Structure 1
Amino acid sequence: MKEWVGSAAICINENNEILMVRGIDTEKWAIPSGGIEEGETPEQCCVREVKEETGYPVKIIEELFVKEITIKGFDVKTHYFMVKKIGESEGIKDPDKTIEASRWISSSELMKIYHLYPEDLELLLSIINKGSFPNLDNRY
């Protein structure tokens, strides 16, 4: 089976909103994420993807967990990181031209939007609502 390895960023602002992106030709939202490039660490990938997809410079706070699932015949391994924005957005500069919008989403909005990865919803809500992380041991 083919393998895809990437990183994803959970970024919460001072208003307790989460940074999310929406792709072109879809109504589904997701946290910024993307594939690790050759010679890149998961941390470097995470910082680069957030910058490309949202324009925000961020720094890694901690690695949360690695999600392993199978999607369309690919073994997908995604490193999830908690990140903090360290500057203002310079606008979307996605070289793949797949991201149409990025914005901060509140916990009440999180319940109403369509999610590209619905399995992440519970995690995102728990982080926003509690400001802490749920037990991730048996999640995936």
Structure 2
Amino acid sequence: MFDKLRALLSAGKDEGSVGRVDAVSRAAAFLMVEAGTIDGHFDPVERDRIRALLTQRFSLNSSVVEELIKEGEAMHEDAVGWYKQSRTLKDAFDYDERVDMIEMLWEVAYADGVLDHLEANMMRRVAGLLYVEDHDSSAARKRAMANLGLE
């Protein structure tokens, strides 16, 4: 599953280079930054979680990850809406990949150990925009909590 996601995100990149950042990776990074900032605090632990997720799950190098986080922050400041970014991911990912994206967002939301009501609301809305069923979002939430040691 993650291999397909990695292949999609690395499509069009030159081997050995930083590569170009595409709309899918921008959308994913933006939604992760939104999950980290929606409660009014973008804690270092949330930023570190985003770095780890983008690096590990999408096989991106550190300079690309930093670029994506900065772009995500700029998009947040410009009040870019969730619909367009969610639509980009919905159109690019199959159902299992969208569930994986929800799991990543839950990891960012829980990175500081606390789920704010704004984060929970965002997760419900983004899961709907990605057409992820409630039971699959709930299972992704549980996996994210387990990944973070919050069971």
Give me the TM-score of the superposition, normalised by structure 2. Answer: 0.29
Q: Which has the higher helix share?
A: 2
Q: Which has the higher strand share?
A: 1
Give me the TM-score of the superposition, normalised by structure 1. Answer: 0.30
